[in-house]
Amino acid sequence: METLEYRFASAPAAAAETPALCGVVGSGNLEILVTPGAEAQSCAISVKTSARGFGDIWQAVLAAFAASHAAGGTRIAINDMGATPAVVSLRLGQALADYQGGGQ
């Protein structure tokens, strides 16, 4: 397993009362947990992945997410078992929507 840590500037997310969990770790998939973070203007993301050596791709996908979504003030934990960038982007959007109350 490889652990990657990132922090990206991002517009503040709407405050949430409870964490959000999206996805299931399994072959070719991932799970994402969104919780409140320490800094309102940034998003901290931790990735634990079975696929080593893809840090540059993770950084690009996560930077694009943070730039296009209001995710500031969140901490995102990702447990990955080989998900594609498209699945990562989809699950991130779903998890953030759930966190902000839009997934109910």
**Is it the case that residue 85 has pLDDT exceeding 80?**
yes
Q: Is residue 30 part of a domain?
A: yes
* pLDDT grade for 102, boundaries at 50, 70 and 90: low
Residue 65 is predicted with a pLDDT of 96
Domain count across the chain: 1
Give the long-range contacts of residues 82-90, CB within 8 A, separation 24 or more.
Answer: 82/27, 82/28, 82/29, 82/49, 82/50, 82/51, 83/28, 83/29, 83/30, 84/28, 85/57, 85/61, 87/28, 87/29, 87/30, 88/30, 88/58, 88/61, 89/61, 89/64, 89/65
Residue 25 is predicted with a pLDDT of 84
**Is it the case that residue 57 has pLDDT exceeding 90?**
yes
Q: Is residue 17 part of a domain?
A: yes
Range of the domain at 74: 2-99
Percent of the chain with pLDDT over 70: 96
Residue 45 is predicted with a pLDDT of 98
**Is it the case that residue 58 has pLDDT exceeding 70?**
yes
Q: Is residue 93 part of a domain?
A: yes
Q: Is residue 104 part of a domain?
A: no
Q: Is residue 89 part of a domain?
A: yes
pLDDT in tens, 16-55: 878 999 988 876 789 999 999 989 999 999 999 988 999 9
